[in-house]
Amino acid sequence: MRRLITVLLLLTVFLAGCDSIDPEESAVFEPVINTVHELQVIVGGIFGLYLVLIMVRIYYERKKVKILQDIRYDLDHSNMDKGIAYSRHRQGRFKAFVGKITQLYHNRK
């Protein structure tokens, strides 16, 4: 792949100065010039399609995340109504430790 890119870059640099070629020499380089132009169109088209596919993927991933957030919201409210622990109800280790200590303190009274 690197060799192909190197060859294409060299041909592009070489063909950049093709405006000053004599008519006899341009007939020799005409197939190479046409091939390079066709390759530029093909590579540009593939790159464009790749960008479009990335944009579509980002759109659908954001849509999926939004749906998952809505599901979590609905489940949280359903669990709150039923008195079950929910996602925002979870505590870290420190908060759980402090909660147990305060609970023991209040139970002593």
Mean pLDDT across 40-56:
93
Mean pLDDT across 20-37:
75
Query: In 10 A of CB 31, how many CB atoms?
Result: 9
The overall average pLDDT reported for the chain is 81
Mean pLDDT across 53-81:
93
Indicate if the alpha-carbon torsion angle 31, 35, 38, 44 is positive or negative.
negative
Q: What is the DSSP string of 32-71?
A: HHHHHHHHHHHHHHHHHHHHHHHHHHHHHHHHHHHHHHHH
Mean pLDDT across 42-50:
92
Separation in Å, CA 92 to CA 2, 7, 30: 51, 58, 71
Rounded to 5 degrees, what angle do the CA atoms 100, 103, 107 make? Answer: 140
Q: What pLDDT score was predicted for residue 20?
A: 61
CA–CA dist 11, 17 (Å, integer) = 10
Sorted by sequence, the CB contacts under 8 Å of residue 33 that are 6+ apart come out as 15, 18
Q: What pLDDT score was predicted for residue 109?
A: 59
**pLDDT value at 5 more than 60:** yes
Q: What pLDDT score was predicted for residue 54?
A: 96
Under the banding of pLDDT at 50, 70 and 90, the label for residue 84 is confident
